C-alpha cells in the first residue's frame, strides 16, 4: 500500500510523489492526487550571437522550482519575422530546484524567449518571457556599384570596392568574391558577388551588374550661350543622341534633339545668368557618357537706342550693357552697314544724312567682339521739330537795362511785355552759347510790374514763355519826424538809409509824395501848408520810400500848438 506526502507551504498544500516501499513497482494509477500548481520560473537573460557559419545562437542559463518530477520545461523562441521555434529544455525526472544552460541555433534573429513549465497533461503551470540581448553587432556594408564596360576593356572586380563595419571599421581586405562571370570579350550582362564577415560573424553579401557593350564615341561643342536665349545649341559628332546641362552644380533634365551634326537643348530663358557656371554632357542612346561636363561660354548684352530725329541726329546713339562691341544697321530689312562704337555704357552709330527717311523700319543688331549676336532692337524714327526753353534771371530794379538769363534749343529771339505792353522783338541769343540779354531800358520801374518774356525760333514759332521775377535792391531806411507846430508849413526831421521820398497821411487822407531829403545832412523837409493840420487831435503819419517806391518805414507825427 502506498501513501503520499502532503506539505503545507505558504498557505498552500503541496502534494508530492507517493511514498512506497518499492518505487519500481509504482505505476501512474498508484498516484491518486495531482500536484498543486506551484511551479516558478526564475529570471533569465538570453543573449544572441552568431557562429562562424553566420547562424544566430541564443544562449542563456535558466532556473526554476517545480513541484512535481513529472513536469517539463519548454523554450519558445519568438523570431523577428513573426514565427516561433520550440525545444524542450527539461524533460522531467526531478522536482524542486532545477536549472540548465542552453545554446540554441535559431533559423533567424530572435527578439524574445518564453519558458513554459507544463504538467504531465501538457497544461502550462508557469510562464516567463525575457527579451533577447543582441550581441551580434551591426551588419558590415559592402560599397560596390554597377559598372558598364566597353568590349575589350580590362576589368578589375575589386576596383573601387570597399567594406566597412560599425564596430570593426575597414573590412576591405576581408572581402571575398564568391561569384564572377564577367567576360569583356563580348557584349552581355554579367554579375559579381562579394561577401564579407565581421568579428561578430555577421555576413553581408552584395551582387553588382557588369554590362559589357559595344564601344561608342562622341564629342560635342557648345555654341556661345547668350543670356535670355531659350536654348543651348552646338555641334556634335559620333554616337551622341542626348544631353544633360548642369547650372551651378544643379543638373537639369536629360534630353535635347540632334539634327545633321547640330544639337538643340531647350532651357528656361530666365534660368541662366551672366555669372553662372554651365556645363553640358553628351550621352549615347543607352545613356552612356561620351563627353562629360563641357563648359558652355556665357555672354550677355542689351542695348537701348535713342530716338533718331531726321534733320537733327548725326547718328544713332544710346546705352548698352554687357558684352556689346559693335552693331549692324538695317533699314527696311536691308543691311546698310556695320560698325559703331560702344564705350563706357554708351554707343554711337554714324548714319549718313538722308539714309533714314520718315516711315522707314529701322533696327540695330548688337554683337560681341567675336561676332556673336547678342540682341536686336528697333530704332524709333521721327522728324525734327524745333524746341527750346527760356529761363530769365530775376530782374533787380536799378541793376541795369537788360533782362538776362539762359536758353536751350532753337531759341532765336524773344519778346517782352511790361504790364501788358509788348516791346520790340529782339535780344541777343548766340548760337554757340546758352546765355541771352534783352534790352528794356528803364521801362521796369517797380516790383509790382507784370513782366513776361516769350521765346521764338527762327520761323517765328513760339517755343516757351516765362514770367520775369522783379525785385527791388536790398534797400533799408527809416524816418524820424520832429514835433509839428500847428500852422507851420513844413514837417521836418531826420532820416537814415535809402529814403528817397515820403508821403504824409492826415486823418487817413494821402498828401502828394515828395519832400526834400539831403543825403549829406540826413535832414528832410516835407511841405504840408499852414492850414492842412489845424488840430492837435488829428492823426498825421509820415511814410518813407526808396527810389523804387518800396515802403521803408513809417511814424506818427507828434502835434503841438504855439505857446
342-368 pLDDT, tens per residue?
999 999 999 988 899 989 999 999 999
Phi, psi for 206 (deg, rounded to 5): -150, 135
Would you place residue 427 in the very low, low, confident or very high pLDDT band (cuts 50, 70, 90)?
Answer: very high
What is d(CA 366, CA 329) in angstroms, rounded to the nearest whole number? 9
Predicted pLDDT at 26: 39
Average pLDDT over residues 55-64: 93
192-210 pLDDT, tens per residue?
999 999 888 889 999 999 9
Q: Is 24 helix (H, G, I), strand (E, B) or coil?
A: helix
What is d(CA 106, CA 102) in angstroms, rounded to the nearest whole number? 12
Would you place residue 164 in the very low, low, confident or very high pLDDT band (cuts 50, 70, 90)?
Answer: very high
Asked if 46 contacts 129 with a C-beta cutoff of 8 angstroms, the reply is no
Predicted pLDDT at 44: 94
Query: Which grid coordinates are listed for 180?
Result: 564572377
Average pLDDT over residues 46-56: 87
Query: Which grid coordinates are listed for 146?
Result: 554597377
Torsion of CA 105, 108, 111, 116, to 10 degrees: -50
Domains of the chain are 40-134 (2.60.40.10), 141-213 (2.60.40.10), 218-299 (2.60.40.10), 301-383 (2.60.40.10), 388-471 (2.60.40.10), 477-560 (2.60.40.10)
What is d(CA 407, CA 392) in angstroms, rounded to the nearest whole number? 8
> 259 in the Ramachandran plot: left (φ > 0), alpha (ψ -120 to 50) or beta?
beta
Confidence check: pLDDT of 11 > 50: no
Q: Is 196 helix (H, G, I), strand (E, B) or coil?
A: strand
Predicted pLDDT at 94: 85
What is d(CA 238, CA 216) in angstroms, rounded to the nearest whole number? 8
Q: Where are the beta strands (DSSP E) in 267-396?
A: 278-283, 289-295, 298-299, 301-305, 308-310, 315-322, 326-331, 334-339, 341-343, 346-350, 362-367, 373-379, 381-383, 388-392, 395-396
- One-character DSSP codes across 200-264: T--EEEEEEEEEEE----EEEEEPPEETT-SEEEEEEEET--EEEEEETTEEEEEE-EEETTEEE
Q: pTM value?
A: 0.41
102-151 pLDDT, tens per residue?
999 999 889 999 999 998 888 888 999 999 988 777 889 999 999 989 99
Amino acid at each position: 500500500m502506498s501513501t503520499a506526502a502532503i506539505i503545507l507551504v505558504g498557505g498552500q498544500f503541496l502534494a508530492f510523489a507517493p511514498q512506497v516501499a518499492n518505487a519500481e513497482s509504482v505505476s501512474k494509477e498508484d498516484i491518486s492526487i495531482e500536484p498543486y500548481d506551484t511551479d516558478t520560473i526564475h529570471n533569465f537573460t538570453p543573449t544572441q550571437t552568431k557562429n562562424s557559419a553566420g547562424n544566430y545562437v541564443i544562449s542563456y542559463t535558466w532556473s526554476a522550482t517545480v513541484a512535481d518530477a513529472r513536469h517539463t520545461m519548454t523554450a519558445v523562441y519568438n523570431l523577428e519575422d513573426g514565427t516561433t521555434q520550440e525545444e524542450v529544455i527539461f524533460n522531467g525526472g526531478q522536482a524542486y530546484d532545477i536549472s540548465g544552460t542552453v545554446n540554441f541555433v535559431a533559423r533567424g534573429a530572435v527578439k524574445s524567449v518564453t519558458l513554459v513549465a507544463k504538467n504531465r497533461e501538457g497544461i502550462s503551470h508557469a510562464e516567463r518571457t525575457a527579451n533577447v540581448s543582441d550581441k551580434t553587432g551591426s551588419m558590415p556594408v559592402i560599397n560596390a556599384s554597377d559598372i558598364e564596360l566597353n568590349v575589350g576593356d580590362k576589368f578589375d572586380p575589386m576596383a573601387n570596392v570597399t567594406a566597412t563595419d560599425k564596430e570593426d571599421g575597414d573590412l576591405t581586405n576581408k572581402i571575398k568574391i564568391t561569384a564572377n562571370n564577367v567576360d569583356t570579350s563580348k557584349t552581355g550582362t554579367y554579375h559579381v558577388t562579394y561577401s564579407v564577415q565581421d568579428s561578430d560573424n555577421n555576413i553581408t553579401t552584395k551582387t553588382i551588374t557588369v554590362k559589357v557593350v559595344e564601344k561608342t564615341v562622341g564629342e560635342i561643342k557648345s555654341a556661345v550661350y547668350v543670356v535670355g536665349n531659350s536654348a543651348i545649341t552646338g555641334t556634335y559628332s559620333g554616337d551622341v543622341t542626348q544631353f544633360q546641362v548642369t547650372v551651378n552644380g544643379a543638373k537639369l533634365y536629360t534630353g535635347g534633339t540632334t539634327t545633321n551634326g547640330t544639337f538643340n537643348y531647350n532651357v528656361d530663358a530666365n534660368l541662366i545668368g551672366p555669372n553662372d557656371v554651365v556645363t553640358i554632357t553628351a550621352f549615347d542612346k543607352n545613356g552612356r557618357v561620351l563627353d562629360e561636363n563641357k563648359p558652355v561660354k556665357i555672354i550677355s548684352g542689351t542695348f537701348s537706342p535713342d530716338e533718331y530725329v531726321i534733320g537733327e541726329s548725326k547718328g544713332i546713339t544710346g546705352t548698352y550693357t554687357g558684352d556689346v562691341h559693335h552693331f549692324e544697321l538695317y533699314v527696311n530689312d536691308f543691311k546698310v552697314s556695320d560698325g559703331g562704337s560702344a564705350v563706357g555704357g554708351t554707343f554711337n552709330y554714324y548714319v549718313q544724312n538722308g539714309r533714314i527717311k520718315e516711315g522707314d523700319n529701322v533696327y540695330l543688331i548688337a554683337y560681341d567682339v567675336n561676332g556673336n549676336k547678342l540682341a536686336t532692337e528697333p530704332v524709333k524714327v521721327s522728324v525734327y521739330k524745333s524746341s527750346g526753353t527760356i529761363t530769365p534771371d530775376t530782374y533787380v530794379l536799378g541793376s541795369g537795362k537788360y533782362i538776362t538769363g539762359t536758353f536751350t534749343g532753337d531759341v532765336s529771339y524773344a519778346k517782352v511785355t511790361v504790364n501788358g505792353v509788348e516791346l520790340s522783338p529782339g535780344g541777343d541769343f548766340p548760337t554757340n552759347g546758352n546765355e541771352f540779354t534783352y534790352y528794356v531800358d528803364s521801362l521796369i520801374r517797380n516790383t509790382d510790374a507784370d513782366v513776361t518774356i516769350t521765346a521764338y525760333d527762327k520761323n517765328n514759332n513760339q517755343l516757351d514763355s516765362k514770367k520775369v521775377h522783379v525785385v527791388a535792391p536790398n534797400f533799408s531806411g527809416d524816418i524820424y519826424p520832429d514835433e509839428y507846430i500847428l500852422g507851420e508849413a513844413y514837417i521836418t526831421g531826420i532820416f537814415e538809409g535809402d529814403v528817397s521820398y515820403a508821403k504824409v497821411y492826415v486823418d487817413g487822407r494821402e498828401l502828394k509824395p515828395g519832400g526834400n531829403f539831403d543825403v549829406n545832412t540826413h535832414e528832410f523837409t516835407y511841405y504840408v501848408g499852414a492850414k492842412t493840420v489845424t488840430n492837435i487831435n488829428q492823426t498825421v503819419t509820415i511814410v518813407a520810400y526808396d527810389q523804387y517806391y518800396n515802403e521803408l518805414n513809417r511814424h506818427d507825427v507828434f502835434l503841438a500848438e504855439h505857446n
